[in-house]
Chain A
Amino acid sequence: MNLEYKVEGGDFTSAGLASSQIKKILKQLNVDPAVIKRVVIALYEAEVNIVAHAYRGVIKAQIDGGGINLILEDEGPGIPDVEMAMTPGFSTASKAVREMGFGAGMGLPNISENADDFNIETTVGKGTTLRIGIKFR
């Protein structure tokens, strides 16, 4: 099954919509709650990253009997130093974003920790693509 969601930069009101929808589907498929939790944590974090840092993005989800593959493609500033961004606690989020409870760092490391497969491609000035794979069993 293939699903697609659009994400707008700066629209925190709608942040989490894709994770909510995908969570609902995985629940209906009787996926192990512990696995769903990992998907939701990773996806929500990544979704909020697009809202907080990029101009816009698309989330593509592909679900089969074995697991879920997520591709989060954004048009945005890109990540100048991926290694730094992967360090727990590092954050470039603005004060306004932090005050909303988002952007306290931990984003990327937390995503990779919850994923079975994790890949990040980024071009400064163009955007970032995250690939997250989580197996159901």
Chain B
Amino acid sequence: MSRTTYNRALEILDDVCIGCSHCMKVCPTEALRVSAGKAVIHADWCIDCGECYRICPNRAIRVMDDDFKQIYNYKYRVLLVPSVFFAQFEDSVPREKIYQIIGELGFTEVCAVEQSVDSLTDEVNEYVRNAQKPVISSFCPAVIRLIQVRFPSLVDHIMQLLPPIEITAQYYKNKFAKAGIPEGELGIFYLTPCIAKIAAVKSPVGGYTSPINGVINMDFFFNKVYLAYKQRLPVSGNITINGELSSKGILYPTTGGESANVEGRTLAIDGMSNVIDFLEILENEEIEGVDFLELRACDQSCAGGILSHRNRFLTAESMKKYAAKAPDYHKLTLDYQRYTSAVIHMDRIEPRSMVKYDRDIDVALQKMERARQLRELFPGIDCGACGAPSCEALAEDIVKGHSEINACIFLRTLYEKRGELQLEEAIKIMERIWGRSRFDKKF
């Protein structure tokens, strides 16, 4: 719990951010504030869910994906493609063509991320039978991080089995090692529809190190592929296509696609606020008799992924249509089973405390008491004009010395009315929060 630095997958571009506070309002861990006219992330509280990125109207949040050119550091360049990627295209764009373009863009081999799913389901059922219930899926990294930060008492419910992406990557590492290819020559790249997965690869949980060498932003890559398609880029066909994939695999990243394979009483819940509501009552011990929970941070799961540009319902529909035509089983499953059962397990996931007030409980109690008194003064409308997402958050910030009572626009107006605060001072406070340039306007 003493760790304080995590690899961030998000970064605010100060020169682009206008401090509009949209991000601050949607952050599920209240990790954002506005100061001097810019959004600021509290790194230890961020769970990389990407809700801020999704809502930012100015594209001021950068995804810290890897530089595409680094793929050329490797002789063999494998791209692991999630099934949601193909669903980004209209049905009229032939899949073969997409594969060829991926080859032309620099990859030597392409493989479906969800290829490992078929070998995973028996392991999941075996695990669920023996574990503390309900077992929470380890698939969605934003949910794992949400639990670590906001629901630390539930970390032991998270399934200690690797998600499909890591198993497929492990399989590739093994496959190339067996073929006698030196480790340094193989580059495994993951095309991600999700920001949290970037963080998950860079700072994995559960005492694990990922063999993935780089993560590529699916939104960026979609544009590259689609442009090549539209411009009829000539293709040479120099790419190995490992397209083995079952209908189960295709559906796995959609809502209900994972829980459908688990025996017993299961629930599939998608969308950040739905997941939070459910975890609250689970933590209160109000839920009984559920064996498995598929929890996904995004509405429509990965079809609604942060880096999935197409309408989430159309994306999910495409995936379902494609799955209907796919086989129930694929021929590499046995191969996967033989190899992956040895590498599939991970250690317990540690909680990540938010440290709301102080590590020392007596100090924390004093500060909390003061924050409660302050909240009585605030209007309770959570307007955000103070640069904090709620009156409660402002009270917390003040007792920690990160803000001041006068930051509240209601109290400021009251103090001005009483003659206790000068207009000049009030404007300075506003500038400290929202930036000077905001008040330079000429009418």
B281-315 contacts to A, CB under 8 A, are: 281, 283-286, 288
Contacts of B354 in A (CB 8 A): 27-28
Q: A19 at interface (Cβ–Cβ under 8 A)?
A: yes
**Interface-facing stretch out of B97-105, B177-185, B361-369, B422-430:** B361-369
| CB of B44, distance to nearest CB on chain A (Å) | 13
A37 to B285, CA, bound (A): 8
Contacts of A34 in B (CB 8 A): 153
Which of A27, A41, A64 has the largest number of chain B CB atoms within 10 A? A27
A20 to B277, CA, bound (A): 12
**B284–A23 contact, CB under 8 A?**
yes
A23 to B152, CA, bound (A): 12
Contacts of A27 in B (CB 8 A): 150, 152, 354, 356
Interface string of A107-126 (1 = CB under 8 A from B): 00000000000000000000
Q: A88 at interface (Cβ–Cβ under 8 A)?
A: no
**B361–A20 contact, CB under 8 A?**
no
| CB of B284, distance to nearest CB on chain A (Å) | 6
Interface string of A12-33 (1 = CB under 8 A from B): 0000100110010101111101
Contacts of B359 in A (CB 8 A): 30
A133 to B428, CA, bound (A): 49
**A31–B356 contact, CB under 8 A?**
no
A99 to B355, CA, bound (A): 40
Q: A44 at interface (Cβ–Cβ under 8 A)?
A: yes
| CB of A3, distance to nearest CB on chain B (Å) | 9
**A25–B368 contact, CB under 8 A?**
yes
| CB of A86, distance to nearest CB on chain B (Å) | 20
**A29–B283 contact, CB under 8 A?**
no
Q: B76 at interface (Cβ–Cβ under 8 A)?
A: no
**B153–A63 contact, CB under 8 A?**
no
Contacts of B155 in A (CB 8 A): 33
Contacts of B361 in A (CB 8 A): 29-31, 65, 136
A19 to B280, CA, bound (A): 11
Contacts of B284 in A (CB 8 A): 16, 19-20, 23, 40, 44
**A40–B368 contact, CB under 8 A?**
no
Interface string of B400-420 (1 = CB under 8 A from A): 000000000000000000000
Q: A1 at interface (Cβ–Cβ under 8 A)?
A: yes
**B368–A33 contact, CB under 8 A?**
no
A27-70 contacts to B, CB under 8 A, are: 27-31, 33-34, 36-37, 40-41, 44, 63-65
| CB of B4, distance to nearest CB on chain A (Å) | 14
Given the contacts A37-B153, A40-B285, A44-B286, A29 and B364 also touching, CB distance less than 8 Å: yes
| Chain A residues within 8 Å of chain B by Cβ, number | 23
Q: B357 at interface (Cβ–Cβ under 8 A)?
A: yes
| CB of A37, distance to nearest CB on chain B (Å) | 5
Contacts of A33 in B (CB 8 A): 152-153, 155, 351
B245-296 contacts to A, CB under 8 A, are: 280-281, 283-286, 288
**A63–B286 contact, CB under 8 A?**
no
| CB of A110, distance to nearest CB on chain B (Å) | 10
A1 to B365, CA, bound (A): 7
A65 to B358, CA, bound (A): 12
Interface string of B313-343 (1 = CB under 8 A from A): 0000000000000000000000000000000
Q: In the complex, what residue of chain A is closest to B369 when comparing beta carbons?
A: A1
A33 to B354, CA, bound (A): 13
Given the contacts A25-B368, A28-B364, A20 and B280 also touching, CB distance less than 8 Å: yes
Given the contacts A16-B284, A65-B361, A36 and B153 also touching, CB distance less than 8 Å: yes
Contacts of B355 in A (CB 8 A): 30
Q: B353 at interface (Cβ–Cβ under 8 A)?
A: yes
- Which chain A residues have a beta carbon within 8 Å of chain B's beta carbons? 1, 16, 19-20, 23, 25, 27-31, 33-34, 36-37, 40-41, 44, 63-65, 101, 136
A-B contact pairs, 9 of them (CB 8 A): A25-B368, A27-B150, A28-B354, A29-B356, A29-B361, A40-B283, A64-B365, A65-B365, A101-B288
